[in-house]
Structure 1
């Protein structure tokens, strides 16, 4: 008996559920899922029931939504597609990193598994996308780097920027304009008085640059710390 392929809506739902918990452990709620997908709460409730019937999620009324093993496998396959396409758009077609998300959302449902694996080979089997998110391997394995949000690190910590959230394209454009990119060296100098911005130093060598970063920026940047960090546990899987 031939298995029916999941719809694009189902693929989108499991991918968003997975992505929400990828860099933090708190599971997603129905209202958060509705907000991220831009749909009504009633639509989420109906779809979550369908996902549960298909064995893709675990959910009880008024509780968080979590993926089953089958749901996780499907989510990882979609995440792999999405991030490989984003990488291709940046590296081969000259897209900016703030432009690729919506394009990848359209293309990921239209390409075959063969195309995805040919694309991975063409790109040299990259381990991360343009924003630093890990690209799952073809077997579903994922290497999550040890990292902390910039906003969680104490004064004096230094490290390397390894991930920048792609939730806000305007923030990505700001960082690109300031030449704050993946693999940049960063040091936390402190905060301005009275709840002011976080002051950081970007770059090493003779010409580092100092920046005042708003909380939204500091919350969107993940750092692999070179300094022993005692106040926070490592997020991820």
Structure 2
């Protein structure tokens, strides 16, 4: 996954969990990066029109950023479920975060059909 994709996904997850703009500190914590690195990337994503970043308030996804982040989130949930349920990895969330943008969405969709316990997307894994 590109670094930008990881940040978009992190902003999406943080915003979904808190109902507020994602702070650079929360995004940095989720990605195990420095706050300075997170702030820099959020500025870049703002320049690209994928987020609106306000210092001290945080980042909010634009419609284009939300579309990309939602697609990434679907793959992230499926991969996280697979890594946790099938491979029993303790690092399932970080592994899924790394790979969500790398696999084709059709691969993630097919993976949901072979997972042992129903549809992971209905479980609300974030």
Tell whether the structures are fold-level matches, with TM greater than 0.5. yes
Whole-Å separation in 1 of the counterparts to 2:36 and 2:66? 24
Q: Of Structure 1 and Structure 2, which has the larger fraction of its residues in helix?
A: 2
Equivalent in the alignment of 1:54: 48
Question: Can you give the 5+ residue segments of structure 1 that lack an aligned partner in the other structure?
Answer: 1-6, 135-165, 167-237
Find 2:98's aligned residue among 103, 106, 110. Answer: 106
1:81 paired with 2:75, answer yes
TM-score (norm 2): 0.78
Q: Distance in 2 between matches of 1:24 and 1:102?
A: 20
In the alignment, what sits opposite 1:71?
Answer: 65
**What CA distance in whole angstroms lies between the structure 1 residues aligned with 2:40 and 2:87?**
39
Aligned residue in 2 for 1:17: 11
Match of 1:133 in 2: 124
Higher relative contact order structure (alpha carbons within 8 Å, sequence separation ≥ 6): 2
Structure 2 Cα separation of the partners of residues 119 and 94 of structure 1? 13
Unaligned segments of structure 2, at least 5 residues = none
| TM-score, structure 1 as length reference | 0.45
Provide the residue aligned with 2:107 in structure 1. 115
- Tell whether the 8 Å contact from 2:11 to 2:61 is kept in structure 1 after alignment: yes
> Cα distance, 1:67 vs. partner?
0.7
From the two aligned structures, give the one with the greater strand fraction: 1
Q: 1:36 to 1:127 in 2, by over 3 A?
A: closer
Query: Per the alignment, in what secondary structure is the counterpart of residue 49 of structure 1?
Result: helix
**What is the distance in 2 between the residues matched to 1:99 and 1:43?**
22
Q: Residues of 2 paired with 1:77 and 1:22: CA distance?
A: 14
